[in-house]
Amino acid sequence: MAGVTSTDGLRVAGLRSALAGPFDLDLEGGAILAVSGPSGAGKTLFLRLLADLDPGEGMVVLNGENRQDMPAPLWRRRAPYVAAESGWWAPGVDDHFPLGDRESARAIAGRLGVAEALFGGPVARLSTGERQRLALTRALALNAPLLLLDEPTGPLDPDSTAKVEALLLERAAAGTIVVLVTHEEAQGTRLHARTLRIANRAPA
Amino acid sequence: MIVLGPTDLAVAALLLVMDAGVSLVLRLGLHGRLIWSSLRMVGQLVAVGFILKFVFALKNPWATLLIVVVMGAIAAREIAARPARPLTGLRGLSVSLVAVVLATLVTVGLALTTAIRPHPWYDPRYAIALTGIILGSVLNAGSLTLDGITSGAAREKNAIEAQLALGATYRQATTPLLRETLRRALLPIVNQMSAAGVITLPGIMTGQIIAGMDPMEAVKYQILLMFLLSGASGLAALVVAALALRHLTDARSRLRLDRLR
């Protein structure tokens, strides 16, 4: 049991919405949590609740700070959520990266196996896998203490999956907490992750 | 002025019979609706003619106000009901009511107190006619905007939430949708202005010319009207967009599509 001085980590208590929960969670800094469960079990709802994208109640404290005490956009910058289906809001790939982040974004994308040339092109020409990795890059470029990833390797081949996992392990070693949804049990093992099984929209 | 008699209208109605004939021969299945809508049109217009005649004779500000309010309420209801995905509850109606009142009040008020200045200022001949024309534009721009925002928010859910999920404010995340929607809502008035006089002779101007007004005078009225209409369209679109977007979020900057039917 951690002492009162330790505020490091993610504490979740009684997090629920009309559709899902309650969820309780206690993760120390650098932990990876693999969320699994059958389709429609509520894994995405859980991540959206953590991201504060769906209305709900309950307590979420990250590194000693309650998310209710900060504006929602600030919270989401600290806990970026990457949906299973990536969203794009401008024609060009580069338009999705803030000017100051473009250097580091290219470096991250390069490590995920995405060619730098794609940044100058249109989103419409990206493959599903490229979109997924670039959406992940957007979140990783924020250097946030918590990452909420909905099936980040879903549409990826084993080679790309390994690259993503290596980067996530590296981030976790540096103290980032990662909560990811996975359909593959072996992924949790490869990431030395704790597991949370969800069924019927609540922890199983 | 050439006064129309019942026979004149009956002769013109033959054209409608021709339309119905085409529908019958080509089996368009439209003849029933064609006849019905034309009967409705005649009924509505004759009723309005009687009401206007009555109110014009009254010259009473309250009677004028009542007519204007009824017209505005109908326009607001239409705007709220048109979208493919309307806002739930009374949200849509509250949005459209504010927009109708604001856009109409500002433009009609401006016209009646500066350019036209009838005596008395509430002279129903001007107040009601002006309101009617302006409400048409408000209805057009308002319903295009409301549908653009609600359908657009549902369609662009992934794009908007992807931005929110990275820490963007709701305003940042919805700016592309706002721009796109306002552009579409203001295109009709832009087209109307560029076509005026070249491709189309605007209805008001044509009416005044037929009624015997000097063409230059009729043109001046039409120019004034176009400015009023573009102002009303812009105001209505802006207000509807801002209020509708506000209804689709909450204190935690979420996208609340559960507020759409």
What secondary structure does DSSP assign to A123-134, as a single string? GGG--HHHHHHH
pLDDT tens digits along A15-58: 999 999 899 999 999 999 999 999 889 999 999 999 999 999 99
User: Minimal Cα distance from B253: which residue of A?
Assistant: A72
Contact (CB<8Å) B167/A55: no
Position A4 scores a pLDDT of 44
Contact (CB<8Å) A88/B159: yes
Res A1 pLDDT > 70 = no
Res A185 pLDDT > 90 = no
Round the average pLDDT of chain B to a whole number and report it: 92
Round the average pLDDT of chain A to a whole number and report it: 93
Res A6 pLDDT > 70 = no
Contact status of A15 with chain B (Cβ, < 8 Å)? no
User: Minimal Cα distance from A81: which residue of B?
Assistant: B165
Q: What is the mean pLDDT of residues B94-122?
A: 91
User: How many CB atoms neighbour CB A105 within 10 A?
Assistant: 23
Res A91 pLDDT > 80 = yes
Res B95 pLDDT > 70 = yes
Q: How far apart are CA B185 and CA B202, in angstroms?
A: 20
User: Minimal Cα distance from A73: which residue of B?
Assistant: B167
Spell out which residues of chain A touch residue B158, defining contact as CB-CB under 8 Å: 83, 85-88
Q: How far apart are CA A108 and CA A135, in angstroms?
A: 11
Q: What is the mean pLDDT of residues A52-77?
A: 96
Q: What is the mean pLDDT of residues A99-123?
A: 92
Q: What is the mean pLDDT of residues B41-61?
A: 91
- For residue A148 the two structure tokens come to 């909420």
Strand partners, A61: A11, A66
pLDDT confidence of A5, banded at 50, 70, 90?
very low
Contact (CB<8Å) A80/B162: no
Q: What is the mean pLDDT of residues B17-32?
A: 89
Position B158 scores a pLDDT of 96
Contact (CB<8Å) B158/A83: yes
Residue B23 exposed, middle or buried by CB count within 10 Å (0-12, 13-18, 19+):
middle
Q: How far apart are CA A23 and CA A203, in angstroms?
A: 7
Res A113 pLDDT > 80 = yes
CB pairs under 8 A between A and B: 69
Q: What is the mean pLDDT of residues B242-246?
A: 97
What secondary structure does DSSP assign to B99-131, as a single string? HHHHHHHHHHHHIIIIIS--SSTT-HHHHHHHH
Closest CA to B107 of B260, B235, B246, B249: B235
